[in-house]
Amino acid sequence: MHTSIKTLKELKASGCQPRSVKEELRANLLKKLRAKEPVFEGIIGFDDTVLPDIERAVLSRHNILLLGLRGQAKTRIARLLVNLLDEYIPVVAGSELNDDPLQPMSRYAKDLIAEKGDDTPIEWLHRSERYVEKLATPDVSIADLIGDVDPIKAATLKLPYSDERVIHFGLVPRAHRSIFVINELPDLQARIQVSLFNILQEGDLQIRGFKLRLPLDIQFVFTANPEDYTNRGSIITPLKDRIESQILTHYPKTVDVAKRITEQEAKPAPEQKSSITVPELLSTLLEEVAFAARESELVDEKSGVSARLSISGYENLLSTAERRMLLNGESSATARITDFWGVVPAITGKVELVYEGEQEGPYAVALHLIGEAVKKVFLQYFPNPDKLRKGQERDPYGVIKAWFAGGNEVNLLNDAPEEEYRKELEKVSGLKRLVDKAGVPEEHRYLFMELVLHGLSEFNVINKNLVEATLTFNDSLAGLLRDDDGLE
């Protein structure tokens, strides 16, 4: 539609026909599907599950409930629906309810058209202005959503309270011909949820005794967390019944998908992009921490573990390596596993612990989750120390074990310069040979050497202690024997 049209007469002459927002969404989705164009750009991992359900709901002209745990892109999906609206739509100039000039709804628009006829001025509304979002909280009132009598308006216009022009409309009527999103629907008080019944079904509004017949045209999208059904509130049954499509979201199903999401969403500083390298191994390790948290008995499964854990963790990992680089006067840095101590704050703030986890403490749980992730990644490259066949001719870790058994130890400082870090790892007999035999990338040889030490400590082959900013690997039995010798 050409936005140069300025009057009702010109609009009628253009052949413009009114259509509902749901018809609009449906027609534009059909165009995109036929043209094989992407519909929900930036949404990763939902191609075969959630997104087809959303598309079916739009084609069916349904209101939608997105049900899922925290950090599953529910609000992001709702916001992307705006791209399925027409770029511009005509509205009666000055109308607060986005009145369609060909189907006026409000008293203001009807009176203006009655007065000016074909000369009624037309404005054009961009699709970006046709999205209304409200976070449901217990203090949201009917006046906020639906509207109330405005005594100041009555006084200014010298109107009695019986005149409907004294009404100040709430968010829902102002979302006429738009997408209206209510996040965390169960947090809305039951009596407020009741007020949405007729709007969803018949389009009736009742404000302070005014019985208004406003045929509101709105695409509703609601979001909710399943935990809310039991802990904070619930979606009342008649309202749930009126929301035609309920769509379940989920967390990434594979580490590769999770890595793509983190890469897309993380916001590193430009200097970090140019000077800090995060090897693929550490990206995988970070996502495995999130997967371990979702499966851990210490973490509340009902609360979920948001994708934001990995995103914040990745940003912290970069910053930890950057800080170390600056402290040592280096011009570039590669992230290490020891840098994961800087990721701990991103983990502790993103997991809700069950009773057993609370007893352990958030910091200990975070270290436990990193340990579980290390074990999983370690086994992708090296044999399981617990499953080596007895009587095997050669234990791949034999030389390393013997070196530690001789009373030797490795001290990795969190902020150690690169040269010192490498020298400390090179001390361990057999470590470099083991890593080279595994065929790992040569440029990340030292990172894999560090992985072996962390992995062997997680399988209790060697001992690991963190004291202040130093991580020490040793043989606990050799340490005990040394202590005994000292006593003698």
434-465 confidence digits (pLDDT tens) = 999 998 888 999 999 999 999 999 999 999 99
pLDDT band per the 50, 70, 90 thresholds, residue 230: very low
Cα–Cα dist 432/444, whole Å: 12
Q: How many CB atoms lie within 10 A of CB 165?
A: 14
Topology match between the domains 8-248 and 255-378 = no
User: What pLDDT shows up at residue 228?
Assistant: 52
Task: Identify residue 451 by its one-letter amino acid code.
Answer: L
Provide the H-helix boundaries in 328-392. Answer: 344-348, 355-360, 362-378
- Specify which residues 88 forms β-bridges with: 126
pTM of the model: 0.85
Instruction: Extract the tokens encoding 305.
Output: 């573990």
Cα–Cα dist 84/40, whole Å: 10
Q: Which DSSP state fits 137?
A: -
Check whether 328 has a pLDDT greater than 90. yes
Q: Can you tell me the mean pLDDT for 410-430?
A: 95
User: What pLDDT shows up at residue 393?
Assistant: 57
Cα–Cα dist 447/412, whole Å: 12
| Strand segments (E) across 218-359 | 218-224, 245-248, 276-277, 333-334
- Mean pLDDT is lowest, of 59-63, 109-113, 202-206, for 202-206
Q: Can you tell me the mean pLDDT for 290-313?
A: 92
Spatial CB neighbours of 221, under 8 Å, sequence gap ≥ 6: 63, 64, 65, 66, 78, 81, 179, 180, 181, 182
The architecture (CATH level 2) of 255-378 comes to Orthogonal Bundle (1.10)
Q: Can you tell me the mean pLDDT for 348-354?
A: 90
Nearest partner of 144 among 169, 164, 120, judged by Cα: 169
Q: Which CATH superfamily is domain 8-248 in?
A: P-loop containing nucleotide triphosphate hydrolases (3.40.50.300)
Q: Can you tell me the mean pLDDT for 404-412?
A: 93
Q: Can you tell me the mean pLDDT for 286-300?
A: 95
Instruction: Extract the tokens encoding 287.
Output: 């996502």
User: What pLDDT shows up at residue 486?
Assistant: 43
Give the SS3 label for residue 247: strand
Q: Which DSSP state fits 421?
A: H
How high does pLDDT run on average in the chain?
Answer: 89
Spatial CB neighbours of 220, under 8 Å, sequence gap ≥ 6: 63, 64, 180, 181, 182, 200, 243
The architecture (CATH level 2) of 391-487 comes to Orthogonal Bundle (1.10)
89, 93, 94, 100 alpha-carbon torsion, rounded to 10°: -50
Cα–Cα dist 32/55, whole Å: 11
Nearest partner of 410 among 352, 351, 456, judged by Cα: 456
Spatial CB neighbours of 364, under 8 Å, sequence gap ≥ 6: none
Q: Please report, for the chain, the start and end positions of each structural domain, with discontinuous segments joined by +.
A: 8-248, 255-378, 391-487
